[in-house]
Amino acid sequence: MAQLSTIPQRGGGPQPQQATARMKFYVDAKRCIECGGCEGACKNENKVPYGIARIRVVTLNEGEPGETNIAVPCMQCSKAPCVAVCPVDALYHRPDGIVALNKETCIGCGYCLYACPFGAPQFPKGSAFGARGVMDKCTYCAGGPEVAFSERERRLYGSDRIAVGKLPMCASVCSTKALVAGDAEEVAKVVRERVAGRGAGGGAWGWGTADGRGGSEVRSQRSGAASKGQG
């Protein structure tokens, strides 16, 4: 497995010299059937507190043509905005790229909530003003900074499946494999195979999305414009 470059760290976690993997999620909107299995499995495996959703299924364009379901966990960003804005370094990157949380350090300021584009940070108190409580988020089923497999780790962070070589529970139970987890290189292979199998070509990467046209039409127009320019 190819080694990755050093991951910049802040004071909240360990300071690795290099990482040997970058753990990622891939959510295939074309396969998600909104069964909610990932949500239930996550809550059961990690004993998630009431009112907290470490992963949730969101429906886009509900009731309209093109309705899409998509599971939204913490996407383990390489340049995580939540890590960047945390004033007390409660969020940090682990050596394997997982965005981890130290609940003992969190002050509940909510900066991470506003910085995250996926809405991963969750707070037990929903008030916009005053104390929100300690933040909770998807841990990629990797536990926390406490002693591995201890009762305290289990209570604060949930299951540590990664330590024993298992995938996050949500990805493990997904019946349609809409949610894929693992090393970034392996996940990327799955993405390429699925895109090629669907025959989507360049359209899979968003060509024509902005103006509502198909990818092949946009590519042909671009090719024609380029030929005229060369002529």
29-70 per-position pLDDT tens digit: 999 999 999 999 999 999 998 889 999 999 999 889 888 999
More confident residue, 59 or 12: 59
Closest CA to 132 of 107, 98, 151: 107
Q: How is domain 23-199 classified at the CATH fold level?
A: Alpha-Beta Plaits (3.30.70)
Q: Model confidence at 222, in pLDDT bands (50, 70, 90)?
A: very low
Model pLDDT for residues 105-123, shown as the tens digit of each residue:
999 999 999 999 999 999 9
Confidence at residue 186, expressed as pLDDT on a 0 to 100 scale: 94
Query: pLDDT at position 198, please?
Result: 85
pLDDT band at 213 (very low <50, low <70, confident <90, very high): low
Q: Which residue has the higher pLDDT, 54 or 214?
A: 54
Domain positions in the chain are 23-199, 207-231
CA distances from 204 to 32, 117, 183, 200, 215 (A): 17, 21, 22, 5, 8
Percent of the chain with pLDDT over 90: 64
